[in-house]
Chains A and B, each alone.
Chain A
Amino acid sequence: MGPAPEWIAAGTPQPLRSDLKSLLGADRVLTRALDLIRYASDASPYRLFPKAVVQARNAGDVANVLRYGREHGVPVTLRSAGTSLNGQGQSDGILVDVRRHFTGVEVEEVAPRRVLAREPRSDVRTGCCSLSASASAPIRRARTSRPLGASSRTTPAGCGAA
């Protein structure tokens, strides 16, 4: 693949740029050329340039983007905390970054113990890596499903990478 396409220089095209900013708030939408190029790569050998990047803060933001995408025919792709070795987290539409604001782990203290992933409280949320989920458990005799042997960069939930 060659250099970035020319449209990138102007950042997110209109009306997508103003639509997303009014839908979600300007602080949750990344539209600069720099942002689109930064989010075009993952741990895979592929590269796709998103038209816009949304940093979702809660499930409501994700729901709003999905509704918008459906109404306007724009593909929506989620990027959670996995490595995306095979290019799962790449988009040529709207890329929704759920790593930044979906972090944290909460361990239930009642038997049978469970690890929770709840938003907006603090628990295994989608941006959270499995190793930190295991490590933060305040109990010594239990672990989550992606234990020691899992890469510190795998994710237990999110878009269900594995």
Chain B
Amino acid sequence: MRCGVTQDSYSTVRSMTLVLPSGATIDTAAPDAEERFAEVEPELACGLIQIRDQIRADEPLAERIRRKFRIKNTMGYRLVAFLDAETPLEIFRRLVVGSEGTLAFIAEAVFDTVPLLPHTTTTWVHFPDLHATVEPVPDLVAAGATAVEMMVAPALIAASDSIPGTPEYWRELPPESAALLIEYRSDDPADLDGMEQQALDALAGRATLRAPEFTRDEELTEVYWRTREGLHGIVGGMRPQGTALIIEDVCVPPERIAESATDIQGLLGKHGFLPDVAGHTSAGNLHFMLTPNFAQAEDRDRYEAFMSDLVDLVVDKYDGSLKAEHGTGINMAPTSSASGEPRPRSSCGESSSWRIRMACWHRVSSSTAIPKHTFATSSRRRRSRRWRTPASNAASASRCARAGC
């Protein structure tokens, strides 16, 4: 996603109709919504205010929560809701965004729209290696780019086989090279010349493999984005038979993107995974794929060892998010638990935030059947017991990322 933290669902949703775990339904836009919420869920409303006051009374914790959600972060509940809103229902409807069905069902939602800025100019810029690729990202963002995405050459080379209309020269890219997809958008087509110049200025003096070639052609732009969005399917199609396809999704403060991309590439190599990193680099958000074979004990250990190192790197070194946009799920629930871990990991990296998350969940679920297994389990073993081991990957299924295929 390119919406960052200012144009995401949390920031643009205005109201919702919520089905609460008790079965009661509330439209948050109704004039008497707060009163009704307090009436049908008195303990929940009261509990939310207690948690709000507890967070606000602890300034270091409040500041830490603010900082953790200044970058993309979908680990656990979005605790900054307790700082962004005052009343129980306004806090609750914010917490529901990203709660993965553990707090309520959103039956209806009303979103504000944001300007489309329909005129675009877009280019790929190729660099000799990953570090050189990611280094200019902060400068490009400062120079007004609306998107700066990164892909490594092996993925582009694979895309040149599977996606019609990709540039011919991609087939000849050095495998260790990587590229940025840079996009500028405006309301006024007359702005685009100046924007391209700003990008060229930001790239001046850097070692690029080819001179940037901006395009304003809609069809070619579409091919570029189809390539970027098709990464999951491209890697899925290339992976060995019988392996799982896991996409990771970490986020660091955007100014540290170059350093972190190099660290993650090193970690992937150390554990024998493909060192291919991609991402929404302007937001500090990096993706990479893991293709372990869970039928083999050695691969299960390799995966867990990698994940353990990854958690240390992202949380301890960068104070980042373990999931920027893909949610918590079974995958990340164990790493955010307080029990069985030497250092509790959570959306705040502290046990206090874990306690807040569980307090929220208990307020909602004490009298309900909303499950916590996908969101707040304390057992890492529960995750490993749930792995499936595909016997074979049919070509069509390997590229499929739709739930329930």
Tell me whether B330 is interfacial, beta carbon within 8 Å: yes
Q: Are the CB atoms of A161 and B100 closer together than 8 Å?
A: yes
Question: With A88-B101, A125-B108, A157-B16 in contact, do A70 and B22 touch (Cβ < 8 Å)?
Answer: yes
- The answer for the CA separation of A92 and B327 in the assembled complex, in Å, is 19
Q: Are the CB atoms of A66 and B108 closer together than 8 Å?
A: no
Tell me whether A18 is interfacial, beta carbon within 8 Å: no
Interface of B is mostly: loop
Please tell me which one of the listed residues A59, A82, A137, A158 contacts residue B113 in the complex, with CB atoms under 8 A apart: A137
Q: Are the CB atoms of B1 and A149 closer together than 8 Å?
A: yes
- The answer for the CA separation of A39 and B404 in the assembled complex, in Å, is 6
Q: Are the CB atoms of A114 and B111 closer together than 8 Å?
A: yes
Q: Are the CB atoms of B106 and A159 closer together than 8 Å?
A: yes
Residues in B with CB closer than 8 Å to A73 are 369
Tell me whether B223 is interfacial, beta carbon within 8 Å: no
Question: With A1-B386, A59-B19, A144-B111 in contact, do A159 and B105 touch (Cβ < 8 Å)?
Answer: yes
A36, chain B: closest CB distance, angstroms: 12
Please tell me which one of the listed residues A77, A145, A156, A160 contacts residue B371 in the complex, with CB atoms under 8 A apart: A77
Tell me whether A29 is interfacial, beta carbon within 8 Å: no
Kindly state the interface size class of chain B when it binds its partner: 35 or more
Interface residues of B in 267-308 (CB under 8 A from A): 280, 294
Mark each residue of chain B from 99 to 113: 1 if its CB lies under 8 Å from any CB of chain A, else 0.
Answer: 111010111111111
- The answer for the CA separation of A132 and B339 in the assembled complex, in Å, is 41
- The answer for the CA separation of A32 and B299 in the assembled complex, in Å, is 34
Interface residues of B in 324-342 (CB under 8 A from A): 325-332
Tell me whether A34 is interfacial, beta carbon within 8 Å: no
Please tell me which one of the listed residues B96, B103, B110, B385 contacts residue A116 in the complex, with CB atoms under 8 A apart: B110
Residues in B with CB closer than 8 Å to A114 are 14, 110-113
Tell me whether B388 is interfacial, beta carbon within 8 Å: yes
Q: Are the CB atoms of B25 and A63 closer together than 8 Å?
A: yes
Question: With A142-B114, A148-B225 in contact, do A119 and B328 touch (Cβ < 8 Å)?
Answer: no
Q: Are the CB atoms of A90 and B107 closer together than 8 Å?
A: no
Mark each residue of chain A from 135 to 156: 1 if its CB lies under 8 Å from any CB of chain B, else 0.
Answer: 0010111111111111111101
- The answer for the CA separation of A137 and B371 in the assembled complex, in Å, is 35
> Max chain B CB contacts within 10 Å: which of A74, A107, A115, A152?
A115
Q: Are the CB atoms of A63 and B404 closer together than 8 Å?
A: no
- The answer for the CA separation of A27 and B115 in the assembled complex, in Å, is 42
Please tell me which one of the listed residues A45, A83, A102, A141 contacts residue B246 in the complex, with CB atoms under 8 A apart: A45
Q: Are the CB atoms of A162 and B326 closer together than 8 Å?
A: yes
**Partner-A contacts on B (CB < 8 A):** 1-3, 7-9, 11-14, 16-17, 19-25, 74, 96-101, 103, 105-116, 118, 147, 149, 187, 225, 229, 244-247, 249, 280, 294, 323, 325-332, 367-371, 373-375, 383, 385-389, 400-405
Cross-chain pairs A/B with CB under 8 angstroms, 26 sampled: A41-B404, A46-B331, A62-B19, A66-B21, A70-B21, A73-B369, A76-B369, A76-B370, A76-B371, A82-B403, A85-B329, A87-B331, A88-B329, A88-B374, A88-B375, A116-B110, A118-B108, A119-B17, A126-B107, A141-B187, A145-B3, A151-B1, A157-B106, A160-B97, A162-B1, A162-B326
The 3 closest A-B pairs by CB, nearest first: A86-B329, A149-B2, A159-B101
